[in-house]
């Protein structure tokens, strides 16, 4: 009787061991599958956020550049309708802007055009607005753009400075802007530093590049990416980066309207 009982107990312990081993195998496989799916989901979400940020920034900058110099009346002259800075932000008077260097090495841009309810989104009171949605009291709206790290979040952002002269972030993740300009009679595009003040009116197209930094910090490792100049660059912070380009026509430039663009 005793031997049968011992035999029965040993058989039960063996079954429990096998069951526990199988259970651990299933749990381990489930955790591995979950981690893989979670990593794939995080990568897809990160990629989507990077593409969304680039799309919004390029749309905003492209639309503004296309509007440069727009006027609905021959009696209104728009001075300095387009002006850029290489690795700096635009400062100074609207009609005689200058450049101030940026730690981010991003390009800056100023766009000016006649402000009305057709060229801008009107306020609830029917007034024209600047890039921040602020009402514009002047005849001409002046919008300035640059990219830098936010002082509050530490994240790179695209900033717009409207008529109120208080720059506000509008797109998160934009680490750098680079703008190259095509001038009438020039065989290749030039950056802002190579364009004399009197030749800005000859710009008929712009090539915009935005470099977007990822929103998730992965393991601290060196990552590679292609920057706005088309060269391979490296980062040590574990953030993904991707550059996006777009070319737009400056519809209201004298060079474009006179047919001098080549």
Domain boundaries, the chain: 57-257
Mind giving me the DSSP string for 116-183?
STTTS---TTS--B-TTS-B--SSEEEEEEEEEE-TTT--EEEEEE-TTS--EEEEETEEEEEEEEEE
Q: What is the pLDDT of residue 20?
A: 82
pTM (two decimals): 0.82
Residue 81 pLDDT: 93
Give the tens place of pLDDT for each residue, 192-229.
999 999 999 999 999 999 999 998 776 667 889 999 99
| pLDDT lower than 50: segments of the chain | 1-2, 5-6
| pLDDT (0 to 100) of residue 257 | 66
Which pLDDT belongs to residue 242?
A: 95
The whole-number pLDDT of residue 11 equals 59
The pLDDT score that the predictor gives to residue 5 is 47
Q: 84 is written with which tokens?
A: 């850029």
pLDDT score recorded for residue 77: 79
């Amino acid at each position: 009787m005793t031997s049968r009982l011992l035999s029965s107990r040993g058989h039960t312990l063996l079954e429990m061991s096998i069951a526990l081993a199988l259970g651990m195998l299933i749990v381990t496989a489930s955790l591995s599958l979950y981690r893989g799916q979670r990593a794939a989901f995080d990568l897809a979400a990160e990629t989507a956020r990077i593409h969304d940020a680039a799309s919004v920034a390029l749309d905003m900058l492209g639309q503004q550049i296309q509007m440069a110099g727009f006027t609905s009346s021959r009696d209104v002259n728009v001075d300095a309708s387009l002006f850029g800075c290489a690795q700096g932000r635009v400062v100074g008077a609207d009609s005689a802007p200058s450049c101030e260097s940026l730690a981010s090495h991003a390009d800056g841009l100023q766009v000016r055009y006649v402000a009305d309810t057709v060229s801008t989104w009107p306020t609830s009171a029917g007034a024209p607005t600047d890039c921040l949605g602020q009402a514009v009291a002047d005849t001409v709206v002046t919008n300035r753009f640059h990219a830098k790290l936010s002082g509050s979040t530490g994240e790179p952002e695209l900033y717009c400075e409207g008529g109120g002269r208080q720059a506000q972030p509008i797109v998160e993740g934009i680490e750098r802007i680079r703008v190259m300009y095509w001038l009438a009679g020039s065989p290749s595009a030039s950056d802002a530093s190579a364009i004399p003040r009197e030749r800005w009116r000859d710009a008929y197209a712009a090539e915009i590049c935005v470099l977007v930094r990822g929103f998730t910090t992965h393991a601290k490792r060196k990552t590679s990416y292609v920057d706005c100049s088309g060269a391979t660059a490296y980062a040590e912070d574990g953030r993904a980066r991707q550059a996006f380009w777009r070319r737009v026509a400056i519809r209201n430039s004298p060079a474009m309207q006179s047919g001098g663009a080549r």
